[in-house]
Structure 1
Amino acid sequence: MNQDESVELYLLDQKELSASYKPGDFVALPNTYTKFFRTFFPWQLVRFIWINIRMMVMIIKSHR
């Protein structure tokens, strides 16, 4: 682009802007591996315990 060329920008109104995207445009679809771990109870239990330990450590550190 040369320096003497001008660029014209225009703003879309809210109606045009929202009509340009569909609700499913930005949805990430989980793969088989992700679906498995979301429904695998032992993994969820391990995650629950780990998150609670991390929260307890944070709380203990904040009370010192």
Structure 2
Amino acid sequence: MKQDEFVELSLLDQKELSASYRQGDFVALPNNNTKFFRTFFPWQLVRFIWINIRMVVMIFKSHH
């Protein structure tokens, strides 16, 4: 592009902007398995313990 060329930008109004997207365009819906594991307390406990072990290992590595 040459320096003396101009580019005109036109902004869409709110109605045109919102009409170009649907509600489900950005949302991933969880399946039944995902819903189950998000609410299953023993699995959440295991994940909590595992994440904490990983954090402790990372902290010990950073101190040496």
* Uncovered stretches (5+) of structure 2, i.e. residues with no partner: 1-8
Matches within 5 A, 1:25-44: 25-44=25-44
What is the distance in 2 between the residues matched to 1:18 and 1:54?
A: 44
* Uncovered stretches (5+) of structure 1, i.e. residues with no partner: 1-9
Query: Judging changes above 3 Å, is the alpha-carbon distance between structure 1 residues 46 and 13 closer, same or farther for their aligned structure 2 residues?
Result: same
Q: Which moved more, 1:35-44 or 1:21-30?
A: 21-30
Question: How far did residue 18 of structure 1 move?
Answer: 3.1
| Identity, % of aligned positions | 71
Which residue in the other structure is 1:50 paired with? Answer: 50
Greater helix share, structure number: 2
What is the distance in 2 between the residues matched to 1:11 and 1:53?
A: 53
How large is the Cα RMSD of the aligned pairs?
2.2
Q: After superposition, give the CA deviation of every residue in 1:15-55 in whole Å (9 maximum; x if it has no partner).
A: 47732113432211100000000000000000000000000
**TM-score using structure 1 length:** 0.70
**What is the letter of the counterpart of residue 17 of structure 2?**
S
